């Protein structure tokens, strides 16, 4: 069967998806390695496909959202050599069907644009997408379906690791919600401060965005820790772990007409 490969290349992980038509038939999460060569990328993706009983020779196209520019050449080489396709790299220069109101559209991360496309398609406008990745981002879509911009803060994992590395007596912790806000152990206190603190920060930012927009929006969370943190918020309404992959498919279909 013809397969579309979608790749969301982040600073910490690469999420790879395989679509048969509109169905996401398989997905994988692998570590981002800036030193990985085109051949290594090709072998990795080929083995993932074979493991899922998907023939590599059936790949009809590849679309990539990449926020790690030094990896672009290796990803391009992978697509050409191993799958004999010219990959599409998402940028503000593509016809995304979403007007970009950022002062400098070239500054917007490709993943943020992809999330906006998917959110409008699945949930309508206005909307806010909260993406819990290496950084935590909030992206705002206007009632007219325009990408307005948003907020960027250090990711949950970065914050937890920074505490461990810079405070001599604080341990590395599992990122789960504690049983109480008032932590009775150091681990519980850190979990409360980090997870519940981030949940509170998201609620505060969403409420400020609603006030600035003059209306409420649908709020969608995605990313690795979305489910854990969304459960502690009062403003996140939907958790959609594969929102970015869906957005990549939608952009592929729009750009290629396939």
From 62, 94, 92, 91, select the one nearest 79 (Cα to Cα).
62
Q: Which of 111, 131, 139, 240 is catalytic?
A: 111
- Helix H, strand E, coil C: the string for the chain is CCEEEEEEECCCEEEEEEEECCEEEEEEEEECCCCCCHHHHHHHHHHHHHHCCCCHHHEEEEEEEECCHHHHHHHHHHHHHHHCCCCEECCCCCCCCCCECCCCHHHCCHHHHHHHHHHHHHHCCCEEEEEECCEEEEEEECCCCCEEEEEEEECHHHHHHHHHHHCCCCCCCCCCCCCCCCCCCHHHHHHHHHHHHHHHHHHHHHHHHHHHHCCCCEEEEEECCHHHHHCCCCCCCEECCCHHHHHHHHHHHHHHCC
258 annotated active-site: no
The reply to whether omega before 168 is within 30° of 0 (cis) is no
Please say whether the beta carbons of 17 and 71 come within 8 A: no
Q: From the CB of residue 15, how many other CB atoms can be counted at a distance below 10 Å?
A: 23
Catalytic residue annotation: 111
């Amino acid at each position: 069967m013809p397969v579309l490969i979608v790749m969301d290349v982040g600073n910490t992980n690469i999420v790879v998806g395989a679509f048969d038509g509109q169905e996401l038939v398989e997905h994988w999460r692998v570590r981002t390695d800036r030193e990985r060569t085109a051949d290594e990328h090709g072998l990795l993706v080929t083995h993932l496909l074979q493991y899922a009983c998907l023939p590599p020779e059936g790949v009809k196209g590849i679309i990539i959202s990449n926020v790690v520019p030094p990896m672009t050449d290796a990803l391009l080489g992978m697509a050409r050599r191993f799958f004999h396709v010219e990959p599409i790299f998402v940028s503000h220069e593509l016809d995304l069907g979403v007007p970009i109101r950022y002062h400098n559209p070239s500054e917007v991360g490709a993943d943020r644009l992809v999330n906006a496309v998917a959110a409008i398609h699945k949930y309508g406008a206005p909307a806010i997408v909260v993406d819990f990745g290496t950084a935590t981002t909030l992206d705002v879509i206007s009632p007219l379906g325009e990408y307005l911009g948003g907020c960027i803060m250090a990711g949950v994992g970065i914050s937890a690791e920074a505490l461990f590395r810079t405070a001599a007596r604080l341990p590395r912790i599992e990122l789960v919600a504690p049983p109480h806000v008032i932590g009775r152990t150091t681990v519980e206190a850190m979990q409360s401060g980090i997870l519940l603190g981030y949940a509170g920060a998201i609620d505060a930012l969403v409420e400020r965005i609603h006030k600035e927009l003059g209306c409420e929006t649908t709020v969608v969370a995605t990313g690795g820790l979305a489910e854990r943190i969304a459960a502690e918020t009062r403003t996140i309404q939907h958790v959609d772990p594969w929102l970015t992959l869906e957005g990549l498919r939608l952009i592929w279909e729009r750009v290629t007409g396939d």
